[in-house]
Structure 1
Amino acid sequence: MNNLTKADIVRSTLIVLLLVGIAMLLVQVTATLMLIAGAILVAAVIRAFSDPLQHRGVPETLSVLLALIIIIALLSGFGYLFGHSLSTQFDNLGSRLTDAYNMARQWLASQPFGRAILSSTPDIQSYVGQALTVAFGAIGVITNLVLVIVGGIYLALDPGLYARGTSKLFPKKHSGRVLDALRESGAVLRRYLAAQLITMTAVGSLVYIGMLIVDIPSAGALGLISALTNFIPLIGPFIGAVPGILIAFADDPHKIIWAALVYLVAQQIEGNVLTPIVQRHAVAIPPAVLIFALSAMGTLFGTIGIVLAAPITVVIYTLVADLWSRETLGHEVDTLENAGIDDDSETASE
């Protein structure tokens, strides 16, 4: 009995050391992990376009290629219609933001409370520059994008291959359950991205229309910034509102209230009207979970971690609910049902 207890202690110690070693290794390859996460995100977007084609009888490989053509055509069409206008607006926005940022700092410095705020606030321009350097300086932004896109295409062409390979890292008796959980997480991620695209488009359009109404310069660029930053939950809308507030302040300080009202109305419509509708077809992550996920991902992986925190949390949340809460603890949870997804159809499509 004593020998068995010692063996258990040795086994447990080795497991702990192994986990610590894996954690230390993951810290050293954070950039690669973010590239993998980005590739999975690209693959999920491609599969969101290709799966409806597969349901209509198109072979898997051909459906992925057609999805790529559709995505490229949509992006090219958007660039053709709005590229020149947006490029001009972004050029103007860049110069205006620099002037507006300096004006805002000067105004704060002239206020009794402003000096304390400025002394405790980092220089945004240098902070953004450092963040971009950390995110892309090691390999280069072009190389990173190429790796993510090419990796995403390979993942989209045969996701079952990589899912089956991952399932083989677990005991054989559990590999089937792991494989099902991976399929479910992929389905939920695609639904989540579709829901995010709807809300991002809506918020960007509302901000664009609102800025035109209140006569704020570069309304199109500000709308696009709001749409893109809205991908980051909770803090994204605040980040996206900063350029518009600064531009309004530089154009006319009295317009700050109108600009803030535009962002407030857009977010209220998104939060109280659109989100409840689209979340019927996508998993809803509790806000507290997202807050801590953003904090953890930001600490571990920096700016890119914050950007990818939500989709990564969606996948982890689904896997934990399926493999731990349902399979291990025996609770009745069904992430696919909550997301409005047919389990049988998704499994068959894989």
Structure 2
Amino acid sequence: MADKIQDIDDRDLGTSPSRINDPRIRHEVSRALVWVAVVGGVALAVWIARPLLVIFGAMVFASMIDGGARLLGRVLSIARAWRVAIVLVATVSFLLWLGYFAGSTISQEAAQLPAIVERQLGELVAWARTQGFQVDQSQLQNYLGNIGSGISTVTRALGGILGGVATIVLIIVIGVYVAIDPQLYERGVAWMLPREQRDRFFITASKMGQTMRRLMAGRLLGMFVEAVFTYVMLAWVAPLFGIGAVPMAALLAILTGLLAFVPNLGAIISGALMVLVGFSGGMEMGIYTIAVYFFVQNFDGYVVIPMIAKKTVDLAPALVLAFQLIMGILFGIIGLFLADPLLAMIKVALERRAEQAGESSKKEVAPDGA
């Protein structure tokens, strides 16, 4: 009787629609499930990409605060929370001063800048015609339309930064919490990993943090140096050569410093604005602004950044520029600003992966060599 029941159960299981006995069909179903999982993972990553980018922005902000707190720790023997508070107060004070200075000193200059740029572009087109370049009226309108579209895009992007108060506040709040006690969050992430991988995670996180701090230190120092040197060269040094102070020196210095946070693209944009404003004051002033641009960029690129971040990452300029373009297209101005730090973290992770693979291979070869 028991044998008959077993036979019935086997037949039932063999004909059940939820059971696949053919190994070939099981293999194809497994492959299909893998593809479904991959597509679902990509869709999930795209869906949560912007929140993840905000979290990464908070990590970048936290690394800057952490770097300042570590520097203060070398001269002040106080608790970390107090050092973080000093860094935050100093940052807020600087931003308030910058806002007051910008509002009281360069607001009129900022209003005049678009008109000067448009006039200089028109003169550039006229000069091109005198040199034999055929630029008809329809082409000129297309060029001006593209320029206007580009300026409008930049304006909307900047408005998005200033208008996205909730995103900025979220980045600041998360960054401050992480900067106060970063080990707490490292332990939380490590707790979710298998026990045998936690030591490797701590090493990787430590290298990533060190890389990010040095990278941001180089960026901030480069921004400060470029802004100060640009203002000194345009406002104080230019009159010594009999050229006269370059118009909008303060505005150009601030824009140069802010855009220095975005390597490659920021330097091109700030340099183009500087040269256009320079040529509005004559040929000599225009040539002088070109010389100032190359001097400031070379000093920052060959002296400041190598001095601070020469041991951080070695990223090819073409790779950085391509990644900036991709991030800018996908995520807008925030992606453009975070492209360089994100690329640096990816490189550190890949280098750590290669080191771990090398360590594993050595362990496997060691017994044979013995």
TM norm. shorter chain > 0.5:
yes
Offset of residue 25 of structure 1: 2.4
Greater relative contact order (CA < 8 Å, ≥ 6 in sequence): 1
Q: What is the aligned partner in structure 2 of residue 64 from structure 1?
A: 84
Alpha-carbon offset, residue 208 of structure 1: 0.9
Shift of the 119–311 alpha-carbon distance from structure 1 to 2, 3 Å rule, reads same
1:125-140 to 2 correspondences below 5 Å = 125-132=151-158, 135-136=160-161, 140=163
What residue in structure 2 maps to residue 345 of structure 1? none
Matches within 5 A, 1:328-343: 328-330=357-359
Q: Say which of 139, 156, 167 aligns to 2:190.
A: 167
Q: Could you tell me whether the CA contact under 8 Å between 2:218 and 2:304 is conserved in 1?
A: no
Q: Which moved more, 1:186-195 or 1:48-57?
A: 48-57
Distance 2:279 2:45 in 1: 44
Unaligned residue ranges in structure 2 (runs of 5+): 1-20, 239-244, 362-370
Cα pair 2:63 2:209 within 8 Å, conserved? yes
Contact 1:186 1:315 in 2 (8 A): no
- How many residue pairs align between the two structures? 323
Deviation of residue 281 (structure 1)? 4.7
Correspondence for 2:116 = 100
Q: 2:70 aligns with which of 17, 30, 51?
A: 51
8 A contact 1:104–1:246 mirrored in 2: yes
Aligned residues: percent identity? 24
C-alpha change, 1:69 and 1:185, in structure 2 (3 Å) is same
Change (3 A) 1:60 1:15: farther
CA drift at 1:267: 0.9
Specify the alignment match of 1:287 in structure 2.
317
TM-aligned CA distance change 1:301 to 1:164, over 3 Å: same
Quick one: distance in 1 between partners of 2:326 and 2:283?
A: 37
For 2:348 and 2:307, locate their aligned partners in 1 and report how far apart those are by CA, in whole Å.
20
CA-CA distance at 1:285 after TM superposition:
2.2
Decide whether aligned partners of structure 1 residues 73 and 101 sit closer, same or farther in structure 2, where only a CA change above 3 A counts: closer
Among 26, 35, 47, the residue aligned to 2:54: 35
Q: 1:1-350 counterparts in 2 under 5 A? A: 13-53=32-72, 58-75=78-95, 79=97, 84-110=100-126, 111-112=128-129, 113=133, 114=135, 116=139, 119-120=142-143, 121-123=146-148, 124-132=150-158, 135-136=160-161, 140-212=163-235, 213-214=237-238, 215-252=245-282, 254-322=284-352, 324-330=353-359
TM-score normalised by the chain length of structure 2:
0.76
Alpha-carbon spacing, 1:16–1:299, altered in 2? closer, same or farther (3 Å): farther
Residue 269 of structure 1 deviates from its aligned partner by 1.6
Cα offsets for 1:308-331 (capped at 9, x unmatched): 111121222212211x22113559
- Shifted more, 203-212 versus 88-97: the winner is 88-97
1:285 match: secondary structure: coil
| Higher CA-based Rg | 2
Structure 1 residue ranges without an equivalent (≥5): 333-350
Q: Distance in 2 between matches of 1:249 and 1:100?
A: 10
Question: Matched residues in 2 for 1:238 and 1:44: separation?
Answer: 27
Q: Which amino acid aligns with 2:155?
A: G
Aligned to 1:343: none
